[in-house]
Chain A
C-alpha cells in the first residue's frame, strides 16, 4: 500500500489530490494506494474573492464550500490540524495526537497572515486577506467622506502581489463615482524601488498611478503604525499621515513546517523550482551549488507554501499541481515522470484589475516575464467569469 498524504485543502492541495487520485484510479480501487487530504477546517475558501467583499458586490458565504464537495470520491479527507512532520519516520502528527504514515507527502499548507506582528495594525489598519477584514474595510469605505488614504505593504512576500495595487485603483474609481475624489488624497507605499516586483508589470502600472493622481512612494515598506498620531512610519523612517489606512499584513508560511525543521523562520519551504521537491536545507553551503542540495525524494511543496520566486497566488498552485500529481503518481507506479507535467516551468497566469471596469492579464514563467496587454473591459470580464466558474473548474482539474 502506497500512502499519499496531502497537507492542506486549498487550491494546491485539492487539485493535487484530485489529479493524483485520477492517475492512481486502478491502484486505489485495488487497495494498492490511498490518497488522503488533511485540512484544518474542512472548508475550502476562494481567497481571491475577499478583495471583492471590500470592493463591494461579493458575499462571504459565496466564497466557501465544504472541501469534501470538491474532492474526487477516491480521495479521503481528514479534518484536523497537523502538529508535526517527521521526514525520517515518514509520519505527520495530527492534532488528535495520532500519526499518519506517508510514502509520498505533499505540503500545501499555504501562507499565514500575522497582523498582530505589527503594533497598531489590528487597531487601525484595514486589509482584505480574510472575509471578516474585507467586510470591515467595506464598512470603513462606506463611512469615508474624504481625507487621506494610505495603502501600504508590511513585508514581502505576500499573497496575490497585484492585490494592493488593484485595491488602490478600484478605491480611486469608487471615490470618483461617489464624488469624493476631490476631497481625498491617496498615497501608495511600495516597499521596493518600483511600483511592482516584476519590471514589466511595474512599467504598466506606474503611469496608471499618475493618471489617477495616486501618490507613489518607493522604498517605503510599512514598518510601524503610530495609532495616536495616525501616521505610518516606513522602514526608511518616513512618515505618512492617514485617515484611512489599508495595509497588507506580514505573511509567513505554516508554523508546523518551521517547528518540524523543514523551513526557516519565514516558513517558506525551500523548494526545487522544477521538480517541486522540498530541499533538505534552504541555502547551499559555501562552495556548494543549489543543484547539489539534497532533495527529499518523496516530499513536495506547492502554492503559497514554497520559497519560489513566484507570485503567492492560487494560479501558481493551479499550474504546479499537475507536476506534483505526475511526479507522485510516477513514484507510486514505479516509473519516471513523463510528458509536459514532468517538470514545472514557473507558469503563472492571473488577472489584474485597474478600475473603471478594466483589467489586464499577467502570464509568465521562469524564462518569460509578463507582457500585460493594454487594460480593457475584456480582461475585467474574464476575471469576473473566472471567479464565478472557479468551483466547477479549477479544483476539479477541468482547466
Chain B
C-alpha cells in the first residue's frame, strides 16, 4: 500500500526511543483500548519492531496495513480486526 492510499489513522502511538519490546507492548496496549475497525499507527526507532510487530499482528489476526520508513523512524500501521 502506498502512503496516499493509507486509511485515516484513528490513533498514533509514539514509541520512538523505546527499546524492544517497548513498541510491541505499547501497540498491544493500544489495540486493547481501540475498537474493531480502528487504525492504529506505531512510530518506532527500534529495528526489531519491524519483525516483531508484523509477526504479532499476524498471530493476533489483525490487519497489517504497512511498514513505512519515515525520516529516522518507521511507522507501522495496523487495523484492529477482532
What does the 1/0 interface line of B53-66 toward A look like (CB < 8 Å)? 00110011100000
Q: Are A219 and B56 in contact (CB under 8 A)?
A: yes
- Kindly state whether residue B70 has any CB partner on chain A within 8 Å: no
A-chain residues with CB within 8 Å of residue B25 when the two chains form the complex: 155-156, 191, 221
- Kindly state whether residue A365 has any CB partner on chain B within 8 Å: no
- Kindly state whether residue A86 has any CB partner on chain B within 8 Å: no
Closest CB-CB distance, B41 to chain A, in whole Å?
Answer: 14
- Please tell me which one of the listed residues A156, A235, A309 contacts residue B60 in the complex, with CB atoms under 8 A apart: A235
What does the 1/0 interface line of A165-193 toward B look like (CB < 8 Å)? 00000000000000000000000000111
- Please tell me which one of the listed residues B17, B21, B60 contacts residue A191 in the complex, with CB atoms under 8 A apart: B21
For chain B, give the interface size range: 20 to 34
- Kindly state whether residue A296 has any CB partner on chain B within 8 Å: no
Closest CB-CB distance, B6 to chain A, in whole Å?
Answer: 19
What does the 1/0 interface line of B24-37 toward A look like (CB < 8 Å)? 11001000100000
Q: Are A219 and B17 in contact (CB under 8 A)?
A: no
Q: Given A221-B28, A237-B61, does the pair A193, B56 have CB atoms closer than 8 Å?
A: yes
A-chain residues with CB within 8 Å of residue B60 when the two chains form the complex: 235-237
Q: Are A219 and B20 in contact (CB under 8 A)?
A: no
Task: Closest B residue to A284 by CB, please name it.
Answer: B17
Q: Are A192 and B14 in contact (CB under 8 A)?
A: no
How many angstroms between the C-alpha atoms of A238 and B60 in the bound complex? Answer: 8
Task: Closest A residue to B61 by CB, please name it.
Answer: A237
Q: Are B55 and A193 in contact (CB under 8 A)?
A: yes
A-chain residues with CB within 8 Å of residue B59 when the two chains form the complex: 219, 236, 238
Q: Are B32 and A235 in contact (CB under 8 A)?
A: yes
Q: Are A219 and B55 in contact (CB under 8 A)?
A: yes
What does the 1/0 interface line of A196-218 toward B look like (CB < 8 Å)? 01000000000000000000000
B-chain residues with CB within 8 Å of residue A197 when the two chains form the complex: 20-21
Closest CB-CB distance, B34 to chain A, in whole Å?
Answer: 13
Determine chain A's interface SS by DSSP, over half rule.
loop
Task: Closest B residue to A221 by CB, please name it.
Answer: B28
- Kindly state whether residue A274 has any CB partner on chain B within 8 Å: no
How many angstroms between the C-alpha atoms of A236 and B51 in the bound complex? Answer: 16
Q: Are A192 and B82 in contact (CB under 8 A)?
A: no
Q: Are B32 and A192 in contact (CB under 8 A)?
A: no
Determine chain B's interface SS by DSSP, over half rule.
helix
How many angstroms between the C-alpha atoms of A244 and B32 in the bound complex? Answer: 26
Q: Given A192-B52, A219-B59, does the pair A237, B21 have CB atoms closer than 8 Å?
A: no
A-chain residues with CB within 8 Å of residue B18 when the two chains form the complex: 309
Task: Number of A interface residues at 8 Å Cβ cutoff, please give it.
Answer: 17
How many angstroms between the C-alpha atoms of A290 and B18 in the bound complex? Answer: 11
Task: Closest A residue to B14 by CB, please name it.
Answer: A283
Interface residues of A in 65-122 (CB under 8 A from B): none
B-chain residues with CB within 8 Å of residue A221 when the two chains form the complex: 25, 28
B-chain residues with CB within 8 Å of residue A156 when the two chains form the complex: 21, 25
How many angstroms between the C-alpha atoms of A223 and B55 in the bound complex? Answer: 17
- Please tell me which one of the listed residues B14, B19, B48, B55 contacts residue A309 in the complex, with CB atoms under 8 A apart: B19
Closest CB-CB distance, A257 to chain B, in whole Å?
Answer: 19
Q: Are B19 and A237 in contact (CB under 8 A)?
A: no
What does the 1/0 interface line of A263-295 toward B look like (CB < 8 Å)? 000000000000000000001100000100000
- Please tell me which one of the listed residues B17, B24, B61 contacts residue A192 in the complex, with CB atoms under 8 A apart: B24
Interface residues of A in 231-259 (CB under 8 A from B): 235-238
Task: Closest A residue to B18 by CB, please name it.
Answer: A309
B-chain residues with CB within 8 Å of residue A236 when the two chains form the complex: 56, 59-61
How many angstroms between the C-alpha atoms of A238 and B18 in the bound complex? Answer: 27
How many angstroms between the C-alpha atoms of A221 and B60 in the bound complex? Answer: 11
Closest CB-CB distance, B9 to chain A, in whole Å?
Answer: 16
How many angstroms between the C-alpha atoms of A197 and B22 in the bound complex? Answer: 10
Task: Closest B residue to A235 by CB, please name it.
Answer: B28
A-chain residues with CB within 8 Å of residue B55 when the two chains form the complex: 193, 219
Chain B contact residues, CB within 8 Å of chain A: 14, 17-22, 24-25, 28, 32, 48, 51-52, 55-56, 59-61, 82
Which A-B residue pairs are the 5 nearest by beta carbons?
Answer: A236-B60, A236-B59, A192-B21, A193-B52, A219-B56
Given contacts A192-B52, A219-B56, A219-B59, 13 further A-B contacts (CB under 8 A): A155-B25, A156-B21, A191-B21, A191-B25, A192-B20, A193-B21, A193-B51, A193-B55, A235-B32, A236-B56, A237-B61, A238-B59, A309-B22
